[in-house]
Structure 1
């Protein structure tokens, strides 16, 4: 069926048994019982825009207590940074951060949103009788014209591994509207990485390709694609949570100062690492998580996605090595992680790792835009 503007219109009954997953960078598969619906978008941007204009998606964001409470605490504990100030809310979504800024005393908030969610944000602003203090600007921050220079820029630009979806570039771009000595909330972020050992995860991921070993699938031999399937699956970062005991060394961190970093700095980031192993065993890959800090004049508030902290919608990310590396207690694992921005609103991850004492090395190239979710949580898929 087609609507008057030639957009596809369909009906699909859903229930709590519905399962959904992202398929590549531009498709989404919904399954209920024996019925499946594949949504295909012309571009990765179309996929992102569609789901971030859905109230169901924003409901899941607002129901993340840790995320919401941390932002409100960071803003209200630094009330003096917002009182009688002009604030810019980048990629505002539902506008919840704009409301927090008003609670802290901001006289004017410019809430910027480029997707259709902006119409709902306007309704919330009007219904809360704040139209005189919160003005919704529809469009990308790179394209809109902000009426005033601002004292504070607030946003939630974080995706998986901090950088997925590349909203951080828009956050940094917005500094062109920031007054001298203005504030950025968040102020800086740390990407953490550490080696892990998890034999079960490695073999479970490897076994996903065993489907393609079948030589008589309804009379068809699929085995010629087994190698290609294995390579594709190993290019997928794994979104999950894990026990801290699987980590084999203290983490190394890469710091990004949002007050100083330039947009071009995010196009290519090389993170060198040297880990001293705290236990002997097989290194199956590298685990990633991030922290962000809200540095105000009265208080510094942290939001952490570390495995030692309560689980957030960002979970953690694990990237498998193509071949596990054996290392002994006290030996060092060195190498680099190269994060290269791509045209799919995400990053390619290139990992190289060497056990210095033995010379054994391994690595992998992964696509952060196409992760594998080791748990069923559809609300977190677009992150």
Structure 2
């Protein structure tokens, strides 16, 4: 089903028309011609072949476009329709785990990101391609990924999800009492991660980040990703869950360019993702929120998400370190609720200051060779993000 989906032109068009995605890839390649000129390139999961064509435009010596789905035939047609570039591109139909290539690559290019960065588990194929095809110290576009997380408050969303289960509260549905299934339906709706674009003012604490260095991460490291969470609430409110987004870095020799899916930035086809708790927790400004997000890979090319958030005791007489409230949920990243609404203008509480919108300008990287991965986790000066860097 995965290869069938990406073998259809309408889905490729959806991705190509994401101008943030496609334009950032184009800029990252063309602005870093020095990394591509005269080099051998492997395009991992080439799809329509657009990234292969970009690499050829940048002067690549030869590009091997590896694609397992039926889209490989469309890629051949598209590339052949560009004769000035097609002589230097070979489409190889097959999985990167299985195909054989006649030479090693100086640089890999790919678009392996799914929702929450890891959905569809193509990052594993990207890492396998690195180990099979890339020369030592070869470059990878993208080079690094970051998952950003922050607690949020969204009463509208919570009520919207809870109301879906109202159908099962009917006591006389054609003479049948449905209420016995209401609890199960209620939990079922809250097991779906929400994919939409939201207003960054809904965030109630600065974000933290988890860094995955694609040049170093091992395939097995991606089977289970366990992230400790710690936030300081900036406002007193009900916390409805955890908001997540990602960005990736193209660490070129000439220009370092980021592709971001952050709230407040131009919307991409990835949108953002939110894990909504069926039992919200209450916090005061300055209160510590702790928890854990555990992502476990499964056979449907996605992940099961296990989220726990807790608010510690607050106020006079609270026991040291005592936990007042804890709420947990289990979600299937493969079965999201595609809400897709554009951000609404939410009214702010009187004591709530709007978080500064996350900026989309390039973030300078001081370390060309990525030896110090902590440098990559520093936000732009205007983002105000508090980062907790974890090794990929």
TM-score calculated relative to the size of structure 1 = 0.85
Pair 1:135-2:90 in alignment? yes
Alignment partner, residue 372 of structure 1: 337
* C-alpha RMSD of matched pairs (Å): 1.2
How far apart, CA to CA, are the structure 1 residues paired with 2:79 and 2:157? Answer: 46
Alignment partner, residue 128 of structure 2: 173
- Correspondent of 1:62 among 11, 16, 22: 16
More off after superposition, 139-148 vs 349-358: 349-358
How far apart, CA to CA, are the structure 2 residues paired with 1:376 and 1:51? Answer: 23
How far apart, CA to CA, are the structure 1 residues paired with 2:302 and 2:109? Answer: 22
How far apart, CA to CA, are the structure 1 residues paired with 2:61 and 2:6? Answer: 28
Alignment partner, residue 29 of structure 1: none
- Correspondent of 1:338 among 280, 286, 294: 294
How far apart, CA to CA, are the structure 1 residues paired with 2:182 and 2:261? Answer: 35
What aligned pairs does 1:22-33 form with structure 2 within 5 A after superposition?
none
Alignment partner, residue 326 of structure 1: 282
Pair 1:354-2:354 in alignment? no
Report if aligned partners of 2:36, 2:107 keep a CA contact under 8 Å in 1. Answer: yes
Alignment partner, residue 105 of structure 2: 150
Report if aligned partners of 2:41, 2:107 keep a CA contact under 8 Å in 1. Answer: yes
- 1:376 offset after TM fit, Å? 7.4
More off after superposition, 220-229 vs 315-324: 220-229
Report if aligned partners of 2:297, 2:303 keep a CA contact under 8 Å in 1. Answer: yes
How far apart, CA to CA, are the structure 1 residues paired with 2:27 and 2:193? Answer: 32
What aligned pairs does 1:202-221 form with structure 2 within 5 A after superposition?
202-221=158-177
- 1:132 offset after TM fit, Å? 2.2
Alignment partner, residue 145 of structure 2: 189
**Residue deviations 1:128-148 (CA, integer Å, cap 9, x gap):** 114421100101000101111
- 1:277 offset after TM fit, Å? 0.6
How far apart, CA to CA, are the structure 2 residues paired with 1:353 and 1:229? Answer: 22
- 1:57 offset after TM fit, Å? 1.0
How far apart, CA to CA, are the structure 2 residues paired with 1:355 and 1:331? Answer: 7
More off after superposition, 66-75 vs 55-64: 55-64
Give the secondary structure class of the aligned counterpart of 1:363. strand
More off after superposition, 125-134 vs 287-296: 125-134
How far apart, CA to CA, are the structure 2 residues paired with 1:318 and 1:250? Answer: 16
**Paired positions, count:** 331
Alignment partner, residue 4 of structure 2: 50
Give the secondary structure class of the aligned counterpart of 2:282. strand
- Correspondent of 1:82 among 36, 44, 62: 36
Give the secondary structure class of the aligned counterpart of 1:242. coil
Report if aligned partners of 2:197, 2:340 keep a CA contact under 8 Å in 1. Answer: no
Alignment partner, residue 253 of structure 1: 209
Report if aligned partners of 2:197, 2:341 keep a CA contact under 8 Å in 1. Answer: no
Pair 1:161-2:116 in alignment? yes
Alignment partner, residue 110 of structure 1: 64
Alignment partner, residue 264 of structure 1: 220
Question: Structure 1: which 5+ residue stretches go unaligned?
Answer: 1-45, 378-383
Report if aligned partners of 2:29, 2:55 keep a CA contact under 8 Å in 1. Answer: yes
How far apart, CA to CA, are the structure 2 residues paired with 1:291 and 1:276? Answer: 23
How far apart, CA to CA, are the structure 1 residues paired with 2:129 and 2:75? Answer: 20
- Correspondent of 1:72 among 14, 22, 26: 26
Give the secondary structure class of the aligned counterpart of 2:3. helix
How far apart, CA to CA, are the structure 2 residues paired with 1:145 and 1:274? Answer: 45
Alignment partner, residue 245 of structure 2: 289
Alignment partner, residue 363 of structure 1: 328
**Residue deviations 1:125-169 (CA, integer Å, cap 9, x gap):** 112114421100101000101111000000000000001000110
TM-score calculated relative to the size of structure 2 = 0.83
